[in-house]
Amino acid sequence: MITLDAIGNFTLIVGLLTLTPGLDTALILRTAALRHRRRAWGVVLGIQSGTLVWGTLASLGVTALLTASHVAYQTLRWGGAAYLVWMGGRLLWTTWRHSSSQSPQAARAGTETKARTGTGDTLLSGWRQGTVTNLLNPKIGAFYVAVLPHFIPAGASHLGAGVLLAGVHILLAVAWACALIAFARVLRDRLHRPSARRYLDRIAGTVIAAFGIRLALGQ
């Protein structure tokens, strides 16, 4: 049986991890600040779905095979890096393209592009983005492989304890996401102007692409 002491220590570790600014924070803030409320919650649910998958796989020992296999780890790492660079680059390209043409036709074209690419304000599109972003980050799996076994006592069910601890991580992350979305709502009127939205997208695109490059470099 997992002890309250172990849960408390694990909560402290993942709490500090959750509060550290990173890719998840950038995605949630950017989406919520652009008044995409449903999509923002979809991103949150997607990220936590990925966390639950990583926690379950780690408790079953599957992710240990990932970190032990150089080829598997490198394949997932490069796939995740390519996805993040593509996502950040697409944001940057969209802002540069729109800044070169401010006509109503261009605005309508941007709306149509969002509809075609699935970047509208829908829960499903946000969930898909959050899930893919989380699952393509092998460092989440490596974190669970390195940390989770230390908090599962001998004789306890690895699956049950692993899912329980992943659930603690998810609860903390959802609480932090609520705070981020509330903060973004305070700023959304200021960020609703086209120029402010372009700057926000450029910052978010740069941050996301930088995470992808760092992942590719193994940093």
Average pLDDT, the chain: 80
Does 194 score more than 50 pLDDT? yes
Does 189 score more than 60 pLDDT? yes
Do residues 26 and 33 touch, judged by C-beta distance below 8 A? no
Note the pLDDT tens digit of each residue in 77-104: 788 788 888 888 887 887 777 665 554 4
Q: Which residue has the higher pLDDT, 123 or 92?
A: 123
Please state, in angstroms and rounded to a whole number, the distance separating the CA atoms of residues 9 and 151: 8
Helix (H, G, I), strand (E, B) or coil at 121: coil
pTM here is 0.76
Note the pLDDT tens digit of each residue in 166-180: 999 999 999 999 999
Cα–Cα separations (whole angstroms), residue 133 to 28, 63, 72, 119, 196 = 12, 17, 17, 15, 25
Do residues 200 and 191 touch, judged by C-beta distance below 8 A? yes
Supply the pLDDT for residue 39: 92
Does 57 score more than 70 pLDDT? yes
What b-and-e string marks burial along 122-133, b requiring 16 or more CB atoms within 10 Å of the CB? ebebbbbbbbbb
Note the pLDDT tens digit of each residue in 124-148: 999 999 999 888 887 787 788 788 8
